[in-house]
Amino acid sequence: MTEAPDSLRIDKWLWHARFFKTRSLAAKQVSEGKVRVNAQKISKPARSVSAGDVLTFPQANAIRVVKILALGARRGPAPEAQALYEDLSPPSEQPSQRPLERSGPRPTKKERRRLINSRPDPLE
């Protein structure tokens, strides 16, 4: 087995930890200046990170704050990837998206329109 290095490129670490599906997506986020290392904005994917560094970056609709615990030698399965970091993100304040519970037969077309129009617009 190969040992984990002392430092690793940030785009590679984000990919190893499974925050991004591809390394190029991770590099793009870093290049656009959307990633911070120890509260300093960075813009080069080749920036080295090591254990103990704190990363802040957007992922989906949330801001992630993670502390690097280890540098992986490979991009392994999810449990192995989750052991590489400690999540410091505050719990989300948004209610969980649960499917609506049905209490009878299917709604009519008129009832569906009323339900759709009563929901808040996600783009606003």
Residue 124 lies in a domain: no
The CATH number given to whatever domain includes residue 17 is 3.10.290.10
Residue 53 lies in a domain: yes
Residue 106 lies in a domain: no
Residue 110 lies in a domain: no
Residue whose C-alpha is closest to residue 49's, from 39, 60, 37, 58: 37
The pLDDT, as a whole number, for residue 116 is 87
* In the block, residue with structure tokens 């399965």: 77
Q: How many domains does the chain have?
A: 1
Phi, psi of 16 (to 5 degrees): -60, -40
**Per-residue model confidence as pLDDT tens for the chain (124 residues):** 566 678 899 999 999 999 999 999 999 999 999 999 999 999 999 999 999 999 999 988 889 999 999 998 899 999 999 999 999 988 765 445 555 566 778 889 999 899 888 887 666 5
The pLDDT, as a whole number, for residue 38 is 94
Residue whose C-alpha is closest to residue 65's, from 43, 84, 38, 44: 38
Residue 109 lies in a domain: no
The pLDDT, as a whole number, for residue 18 is 95
Residue 32 lies in a domain: yes
The pLDDT, as a whole number, for residue 27 is 95
Residue 107 lies in a domain: no
Residue 118 lies in a domain: no
Q: Which domain holds residue 15?
A: 8-87
